[in-house]
Amino acid sequence: MDCIFCKIAAKEAKSSVVLENERFIVIKDINPQAPEHMLVITKEHFTTLLDCADKGLLGDMLLMAKEAAKKAGIDESGFRSVINTNEEGGQTVLHLHMHILGGRPLTGRMG
Ligand code: 5GP
Ligand code: ZN
């Protein structure tokens, strides 16, 4: 499958890896929208959040987001965790991932 995040998870494409375990890889976003902008990517391919019903995996994704925020030193100052879904949700890469943004006051309102 021609999926950039599958390739990154398989180390067939380059990325800056922040954290990794058996189910996720956390990388720095190539086009950061804040001083810290990371992506928690599932190693298994799910096209969108709608395609994943694995409660354990989805819960672990949030735990991974917390760990990444701690590692980046933005846990105490604050951060935002976002999953964009489908076109109007702003999803551009069709492989489930969560954004973690921080490192400055995030002033944008939801939507
Ligand atoms: P989405 O718009 O799907 O929620 O988020 C996709 C994110 O992936 C964007 O913030 C974009 O900058 C990032 N991105 C797209 N391609 C690559 C890539 O090849 N490497 C990295 N590190 N980030 C990518
Ligand atoms: Zn994929």
Please give the torsion angle defined by the CA atoms of residues 100, 5, 86 and 71, in that order, rounded to the nearest 10 degrees. Answer: -10
Mutate to test the pocket of ligand 1, among 30, 51, 85 (most ligand atoms within 8 A of CB): 30
State the catalytic residue, choosing from 37, 45, 95, 97: 97
- Residue 96 is predicted with a pLDDT of 98
Q: What is the rounded distance in angstroms from the CA atom of residue 36 to the CA atom of residue 32?
A: 7
Q: What is the rounded distance in angstroms from the CA atom of residue 31 to the CA atom of residue 37?
A: 8
Of the pLDDT bands very low, low, confident and very high (cuts 50, 70, 90), residue 86 is very high
pLDDT tens profile 42-83: 999 999 999 999 999 999 999 999 999 999 999 999 999 999
**Looking only at Cα atoms, what is the longest distance across the chain?**
39
Q: Ligand 1: which residue has its CA nearest to atom 21? A: 30
Mutate to test the pocket of ligand 1, among 26, 80, 93 (most ligand atoms within 8 A of CB): 93
Residue 50: phi and psi, rounded to 5, are -65, -20
pLDDT tens profile 1-47: 799 999 999 999 999 999 999 999 999 999 999 999 999 999 999 99
45 is catalytic: no
